[in-house]
Amino acid sequence: MASLNRVTGNDEVGHAAAAQPEIGVIGGSGFYSLLEDATPVSVMTPWGQTSGDITVGSLAGRRVAFLPRHGVDHRFPPHRVPYRANLWALRSLGVRQVLSASAVGSLRAEYGPGTLVLPDQILDRTSGRPHTYNDAGSGLDRGVSHVSFSDPYSAEGRAAALRAAEAAGIPLVGEGTLVVINGPRFSTRAESLDYQRAGATIIGMTAMPEAILARELALGFTGLCLVTDHDAGVEVGSGVTHAEVLEQFAANLPRLRALLVATLAELPVASADELYAEVYGSVAPPFDLP
Window from 12-26, 62-76, 160-174, 228-242 with minimum mean pLDDT? 12-26
Question: CA-CA distance, 283 to 278, in Å (whole number)?
Answer: 11
Active site residues: 229, 231
Percent pLDDT > 90 in the chain is 60
State which residues form the domain around 164: 5-280
The answer to whether position 139 is within a domain reads yes
- Tell me which of 78 and 6 has the higher pLDDT: 78
What was the pLDDT predicted at 11? 42
Question: CA-CA distance, 64 to 58, in Å (whole number)?
Answer: 6
**pTM for the complete prediction?**
0.88
The answer to whether position 202 is within a domain reads yes
Question: CA-CA distance, 71 to 92, in Å (whole number)?
Answer: 19
In angstroms, the Cα distances linking 235 to 112, 223, 232 are 11, 26, 7
The answer to whether position 289 is within a domain reads no
The structural domain count of the chain equals 1
Task: Tell me the DSSP string of 210-253.
Answer: HHHHHHHTT-EEEEEEEEEEE-TTTSSSS---HHHHHHHHHHHH
The answer to whether position 288 is within a domain reads no
The answer to whether position 287 is within a domain reads no
The answer to whether position 223 is within a domain reads yes
Inform me whether the pLDDT recorded for 252 exceeds 80. Answer: no
Q: What are phi and psi of 176, to 5 degrees?
A: 160, 155
- If you compute the radius of gyration of the chain from its CA atoms, what whole number of angstroms results? 18
The answer to whether position 285 is within a domain reads no
What was the pLDDT predicted at 75? 87
Mean pLDDT, residues 20-43 taken together: 84
CATH of the domain at 164: 3.40.50.1580
The answer to whether position 236 is within a domain reads yes
